[in-house]
Amino acid sequence: MKGKSLIDVLHEIQESNPENYVPENLAKKVSDTFKTSPAKVYGVVTFYTMFSVMPRGKHIIRVCRSLSCHLADGKKIVKKLKEELGIDFGETTEDKEFTLEESSCLGMCSIAPSMMIDDVPFGNLKEEDIPVILKKVREGVL
Amino acid sequence: MKIYRIHALICAGAQCLAAGGNGLEDALKEELKKHDLTEEVNIVETGCMGSCELGPLMVVYPEGVIYTKVKPEDAAEIVEEHFLKGRPVKRLLWKQEEKRFPTLSEVPFFAKQTKIVLRNCGLINPEDINEYIAQGGYEALAKALTEMTPEDVIKVIKDSGLRGRGGAGFPTGQKWEFAYKQQSDTKYIICNADEGDPGAYMDRSVLEGDPHSVLEGMAIAGYAIGAQKGYIYIRAEYPLAVKRLEIAIKQARAAGLLGKNIFGTNFSFDIELRMGAGAFVCGEETALINSIEGKRGEPRKKPPFPAQKGVFGKPTVINNVETLANVPVIIEKGAQFFRKFGTEKSPGTKVFALAGKVNITGLVEVPLGTPLRTIVFDIGGGIPEGHTFKAAQTGGPSGGVIPAEYLDVPMDYENLPQLGTIMGSGGLIVMDETSCMVDVAKFFLKFTVDESCGKCTPCREGTRQMLNILEKITSGNGTMEDIDRLEKLGNIIKLTSLCGLGQTAPNPVLSTLRYFRDEYIAHIKDKKCPANVCSMRGAKNERKVVNRRPA
C-alpha cells in the first residue's frame, strides 16, 4: 500500500466497480488495511462528493455549476439533461447507464456551459447537443 | 537534431480538446503523409495557449501564424494551402472587430501580456521533458543545488517579494524561512493543486501545459527548507492534468532530476500525487493536510501552522501551483529581474482567468498592478456589442465585485481588499447589465452552503441563513430589515468562522450590498429585478435548501 492514501484506494475501488460506488464490504476491508475503524472510512466516503455508497450508473455526468456557466445559461443545459435522462441530480437512469451530478467548477469557463462525462470534457454546449452526446456515450463511441 | 521547415503547434489543453480539437493532430498527420511532407512539417501538441474561447487553436512557426477554431475538417486546406503553397488560410486567422490578425505577435490579446508563469504554456510539448530542458528548464534547480545554500535560496525568494498566488498573498520566502528553522528530520513540500474557485483555471492550464515548472519549483522549495518529499494534491476533476503530471514525474525520475542525489549532490527529493475527491474546502491548507492523510477534509485550528506541524505532524510548506511555477524563474534570473514586473508590494505577474461577458475569454498574464480596464478592454476586447460593463467578480466565492467606477484601480494585493474584494486565485468574471447582482451573490452563497464542511457553526448555519434571506429577497418577499440582517450576519460569520472558507463566505453579499444596494432595494420595495433575472414569483418559488450529503 506504499504511496497510496486511503482516498486513492477508495478511488481505485470505485473506478473498478462497474456500478461506480464503494460497497460496504470493501470499505470494511479498507478500514482493516489502514488500521482504522469502518466508521472513519464511512465518514471519508460520505464527505467527498465524488464518492458514493450507493450504486450509480455506468457513466457519471458532472454538470458545471460555476458562475461562468451560470451566466452562459447553463440552466438550460441542466434542464435538457434532466429531460433527456428523466432524472434529477443525484439520481440514476432506470437502465443504469447514467447518473447526473453537479460539479462546483470544471475549470472550463471559456467554453461555458460545460460538463464532463466520466473523464471526457464537453464545452460550448447547446441544448441540441445533449441528445447527440448521450446517444454517442450510450453507443460507446465517446 | 532534425530540422523542420514548419513547426505547427496545436493546443491540447482540456478546453481546446473539448471544443473539438480531439482528432486534429491525426487529421493533420494524415494530410501531411498524403503530400509527403512528414519530413518537413513538425506537429507539436502543446498545453494551453490562453484564448480558450477561440479554440481549438493552432500556431504555425516560423511566422507565428495563428488559426482559431480549427477543426479536423480544416486539416486538408491548411496542409495544401499553407504548408505546401505558403498561403495562410485566411478564413481561420484571428478575427477581431472585422479585422484579421495574421500572426500571434500582432493580436492584442497576446501582445499586451507578460508571460512568466505561462512562459512555456502553448510553446512546448508538456509530455516531453526534453522540450522543457531546451527552454532552460531545470537550470534553476542545478544552480540552487550546486551554487547556492538553502539560506541563499530563501533570501532570493524573500528579496523577490513573491507572494502566494493561491489567494491570501502571504510572502513565500517568509513561509519557507519559517519551515527551514524548524528542527525535524522529516519535512514536506505540498503543491496545492486543488483549484476549486468557480471561474479559475490557471493552475490546471499550468499543470497541463508546463508540469515540469511546478516539479522544479517544488524541488527548489524542498532544498530550501530541507524536505525530502513532496506531494501534489490535485483535484480529481482534472484527469488530463493528472495524466501529464504522472508522465512528467516519471520522466524527471528517469532523468535523475527527481530521486536520490540530484545533480550528484547530497540532496534527494521525490514527488507523489495525491488525489482529491470533490470537496472545495480541501483547498484550505489544513483541510488539505487532513485529506492527504486520508481523512475527512475538515480544517484544523491554527496555530500550530503547517510550517510547524503539517502533514503527518511534520513541518510542511504548502504553495500554490502558480507560486511554484514562478520559483525557477526567480532563482535563475534573480530577485531584481522579478521585481521589474508588478508593484513594490506586489511584484511579479498574475494570471487571470478572464470569463463571462467579455469578447475574448481565456488566460491572461499581466504584471500585478495592471488596471482592470486594461485586462477587460485592451486584452479581452471589451464587452460584446450592445452591452455595457457593469462589474467584475474577483476571488470567486471568497471575493467580491468591482463596479465600473473602479475600472482604473490597479489590480494588486493592496488595492483589491480596499475595494472589498480579494485577488483570490485569479478568477475574473465580467458581468454586463443583464446580470443581477443579488442573483450573483445568491449564486455564491449557494455554493458556500453546499461546500461548507459543517465543522463550525457560523459557516454551516450562518451561510444557510444568509442564503434563506437572499432566496426571500429574490422571490419578492424581502423586507428592508433583511438587508440589515444580511450585513450583521455576514460580519459575524467573517469574525467567527474557523477557516478561510467561512471567513470569506459573506464577501460576495457584503460587496454587492456595498456597490449595488439599490438593486437589493428594487427587489424588496418594487418587487422587481432590474436585470430581469430573478423570477420574483412569490413564496412558492422559494427554493428549499437541502444538504447534498447523505446523513
User: Can you spell out the DSSP letters for B204-253?
Assistant: HHHHHH-HHHHHHHHHHHHHHHT-SEEEEEE-TT-HHHHHHHHHHHHHHH
Mean residue pLDDT of chain B comes to 94
- Is B177 in CB contact (< 8 Å) with chain A? no
- pLDDT confidence tier of residue B538, bands split at 50, 70 and 90: low
- pLDDT confidence tier of residue A40, bands split at 50, 70 and 90: very high
Is residue A16 scored above 90 in pLDDT? yes
Nearest by CB to residue B199, choosing from A105, A111, A114, is: A105
In the Cβ-directed half-sphere of B197, how many Cα atoms lie within 13 Å? Answer: 35
Judged by CB atoms within 8 Å, which residues 103-132 of A form the interface with B?
Answer: 103-112, 114, 116, 119-124
Beta strands in B413-507 (DSSP E): 427-432
What are the tens digits of pLDDT across the range B14-73? 999 998 888 899 999 999 999 999 999 999 999 999 999 899 999 999 999 999 999 999
Judged by CB atoms within 8 Å, which residues 389-408 of B form the interface with A?
Answer: 393, 396
Is A121–B17 a contact, with Cβ atoms under 8 angstroms apart? yes
Instruction: Decide: B315 and B184 in contact? Cβ < 8 Å.
Output: yes
Cα separation of B50 and B111, whole Å? 12
- Residue owning grid cell 476571488: B395
Under DSSP, the state recorded for B259 is B
- Is B535 in CB contact (< 8 Å) with chain A? no
* Min distance A53 CA to chain B CA atoms (Å): 9
Instruction: Decide: B519 and B441 in contact? Cβ < 8 Å.
Output: no
Using an 8 Å CB-CB cutoff, list chain A residues near B280. Answer: 104
CB atoms within 10 A of CB B129: 23
What are the tens digits of pLDDT across the range B269-278? 999 999 999 9
Sign of the four-CA dihedral A74, A79, A80, A86:
positive
* Min distance A108 CA to chain B CA atoms (Å): 6
Is B357–A71 a contact, with Cβ atoms under 8 angstroms apart? yes
In this prediction, what percent of chain B has a pLDDT beyond 90?
Answer: 93
Is A109–B238 a contact, with Cβ atoms under 8 angstroms apart? no
Cα separation of B201 and B368, whole Å? 18
- pLDDT confidence tier of residue A71, bands split at 50, 70 and 90: confident
Mutate to test the interface with A, among B258, B295, B443 (most CBs of A within 10 A): B295
Which residues share a beta bridge with B9?
B44, B59
Cα separation of B322 and B319, whole Å? 8
As given in the structure block, the three cell numbers for residue B288 are 488539505
What are the tens digits of pLDDT across the range B150-177? 999 999 999 999 999 998 899 999 999 9
Q: What are phi and psi of B235, to 5 degrees?
A: -65, 145
- pLDDT score of B540: 45
- Is B379 in CB contact (< 8 Å) with chain A? no
- pLDDT score of B423: 94
Residue type, A46: T
Q: Kindly list the distances between the CA atom of residue B450 and the CA atoms of A82, A104, B507, in Å, as whole numbers in the listed order.
A: 20, 9, 16
Is residue B539 scored above 90 in pLDDT? no
Cα separation of B405 and B84, whole Å? 52
Is B355–A62 a contact, with Cβ atoms under 8 angstroms apart? no
The size of chain A, in residues, is 142
Strand arrangement of the beta sheet that strand B270-275 belongs to = B270-275, B229-234, B188-193, B316-320
As given in the structure block, the three cell numbers for residue B13 are 489543453
Return the closest-CA partner of residue B166 out of B195, B206, B198: B195
Is B277–A49 a contact, with Cβ atoms under 8 angstroms apart? yes
Angle between helices B437-451 and B507-515 (to 10 degrees): 170
Nearest by CB to residue B361, choosing from A6, A40, A110, is: A110
Using an 8 Å CB-CB cutoff, list chain A residues near B396. Answer: 67
- Is A79 in CB contact (< 8 Å) with chain B? no
Is B355–A114 a contact, with Cβ atoms under 8 angstroms apart? no
The β-bridge relationship of strands B41-46 and B6-11 is parallel
- pLDDT score of A140: 87
Cα separation of B322 and A19, whole Å? 37
Is B52–A111 a contact, with Cβ atoms under 8 angstroms apart? yes
Instruction: Decide: B194 and B233 in contact? Cβ < 8 Å.
Output: yes
Is residue B317 scored above 80 in pLDDT? yes
Cβ contacts of B348 within 8 Å, gap of 6 or more: B116, B160, B161, B162, B163, B326, B338, B339, B341, B342, B367, B368
Instruction: Decide: A101 and A63 in contact? Cβ < 8 Å.
Output: yes
Cα separation of B462 and B496, whole Å? 10
Cα separation of A79 and A84, whole Å? 9
Cα separation of B400 and B413, whole Å? 14
What are the tens digits of pLDDT across the range B330-341? 999 999 999 999
- pLDDT score of B550: 46
Is A67–B204 a contact, with Cβ atoms under 8 angstroms apart? no
Angle between helices B437-451 and B517-525 (to 10 degrees): 100
- Residue owning grid cell 483589491: B416
What are the tens digits of pLDDT across the range B473-488? 999 999 999 999 999 9
Under DSSP, the state recorded for B53 is G
The size of chain B, in residues, is 551
Is B237–A106 a contact, with Cβ atoms under 8 angstroms apart? yes
What are the tens digits of pLDDT across the range B347-391? 999 999 999 999 999 999 999 999 999 999 999 999 998 999 999
Average pLDDT over residues B512-532: 96
Using an 8 Å CB-CB cutoff, list chain A residues near B357. Answer: 71
Instruction: Decide: B199 and B427 in contact? Cβ < 8 Å.
Output: yes
Nearest by CB to residue A68, choosing from B19, B195, B356, is: B356
Nearest by CB to residue B14, choosing from A3, A34, A108, is: A108
Using an 8 Å CB-CB cutoff, list chain B residues near A43. Answer: 296
* Min distance A95 CA to chain B CA atoms (Å): 23
